[in-house]
Structure 1
Amino acid sequence: MKTTFAYAAALASALLLAACAGGPQPPDWQLEAKGSMDRSVAAYMEGNSRVEMAELGRARVQLTRSGRADLLATAELLHCATRIASLVLDEPCTGFEKLREDATDAQRAYADYLKGQIQPQGIALLPEAQRRAAAGDAAAVAGIADPLSKLVAAGVMLQAGNASPAVITQAIDTASAQGWRRPLLAWLGVQLRRAEQAGDAQEVAKLRRRIELTQGMPAPAKPQTP
């Protein structure tokens, strides 16, 4: 059994442990922590903050049983990555910062990356999928397969002012394909503001209709013909 820390790309699918073929079954607390984090991420992206925080709390309880700050830091980074993916860019990663001193160098680099404050020497410590994005290469986003990683990279780029229209479209398409209402609305809002600034009335109207649909608002009734 080995521990996997591949923030963003692998965090959602293998938060804590990936059992080697034929290896021993992970202890219950690890499985429960991973399950809770998976549910926490899904709930947040779907717009259910109450369930998200309840599941995050359960994961934290399980992880503290290990007495390892790096394991808990992994969960806190995943929690914060969902915010960047959803363009909540002004919320501090408080849970991780409390653990920063005992976190790994790679974890500290990833936390700085999420804040848009990573130093050049820290880029090599990031997951491979994020390195080019951290260097400002907008084309790198298209090559990221994992949906959460793609949205995180796009969010970091937007934060730095490097998000091209193509990056925004990729973020919208990614959130839409996953059924992630919260980031979809956030990225549609970005596209709407740009359309408004460009004076594209037709695109503005189209985006507003899509936002209303995503929010679950009923479509206007068709007028009845006599």
Structure 2
Amino acid sequence: MNWARAIATGSLALALLAACQGGPLPPQWRRDASAALDQYRHAWLRGESRIAEQAFERARSELASTGSAELVARAELTRCALQGASLDFDDCPGLAPLARDAGAGSRAYSAYIGGRWAELDPALLPAPHRMAFTAVGGANGEREGVAPATPGVLGAIEEPVARLVAAGALMRVGKIVPEDIALVVETASAHGWRRPLLAWLGVQEERAQAAGDAEAAAAIRRRIALVLGSPKQTQP
């Protein structure tokens, strides 16, 4: 499995193991990193922050044991992509010390999820994100004032984690439309992913308030309260 596609689909753990399928047992570091990254992804999306952080540190430590900046960069990109999917934007500080030694694909993906579209080569992006980038006019669309994304851009991305990651990237550059926000909300809801669900419901509430739709805003607030009342929710 191509590692960039693996990040796009939230399956970096599978990519770490794929090369060994049908061959000798993968080395222990690879198996441990794979399991920890899977646990990290699940816990993060569920809003279980402490578990997620502990799992990520275990995964990063196992990958760092190889001395490969590229492998550690992939883990950091996985974290940044999932944060962006939940609208928790930052500049991916864990990647900065590794960027010089990471591959071109890693740097392109970092630029994509980081909103630095003018500096990336879309040919290096995983297919779902290359499609989203192109559909909204890419960096040229941003500079030339092309309208935001057309409805259905995210619907063409079948894998749910990749859909949320793409939504975060579109949101960061101001190219997402209400129809796709609604799709992302229902995607997170269908999988019980509390963290992105709360984030995107918040976007819907703000937009309903801005439009003067008090009834819709109130309904969204009730839904948010319901999610916050679920017993495993640990976000502030």
TM-score, normalized by the shorter chain, greater than 0.5: yes
Contact 1:5 1:15 in 2 (8 A): no
Over the matched positions of the two proteins, sequence identity in percent amounts to 42
1:142 and 2:155 matched: yes
1:57 and 2:57 matched: yes
Match of 2:28 in 1: 28
What do residues 164-217 of structure 1 show as CA deviations (whole Å, max 9, x unaligned)? 111101110111111110100000000001111111121111111100001117
Match of 2:87 in 1: 87
Instruction: Give the distance between the partners of 1:184 and 1:215, measured in 2 at CA.
Output: 10
Instruction: Quote how far apart the aligned CAs of 1:22 are.
Output: 2.5
Larger radius of gyration: 1
Contact 1:84 1:114 in 2 (8 A): yes
Match of 1:160 in 2: 173
Q: How does 1:51-200 map to 2 (within 5 A)?
A: 51-89=51-89, 91-119=90-118, 122-135=121-134, 136=136, 137-138=149-150, 139-200=152-213
What amino acid is the match of 1:127?
P
Structure ranking higher in helix proportion = 2
Contact 1:188 1:207 in 2 (8 A): yes
Instruction: Give the distance between the partners of 2:170 and 2:2, measured in 1 at CA.
Output: 29
The TM-score, its normalising length taken from structure 1, stands at: 0.89
Instruction: Give the distance between the partners of 1:5 and 1:115, measured in 2 at CA.
Output: 15
Instruction: Quote how far apart the aligned CAs of 1:15 are.
Output: 4.2
Instruction: Give the distance between the partners of 1:107 and 1:178, measured in 2 at CA.
Output: 27
Aligned residues: 216
Instruction: Give the distance between the partners of 2:10 and 2:200, measured in 1 at CA.
Output: 23
Moved more, 17-26 or 195-204: 17-26
Unaligned stretches of 5+ residues in structure 2: 137-148, 232-236
The TM-score, its normalising length taken from structure 2, stands at: 0.85
Q: Greater relative contact order (Cα 8 A, min sep 6): structure 1 or 2? A: 2
Instruction: Quote how far apart the aligned CAs of 1:60 are.
Output: 1.1
Change (3 A) 1:186 1:121: closer
> What is the root-mean-square deviation of aligned Cα atoms in Å?
1.9
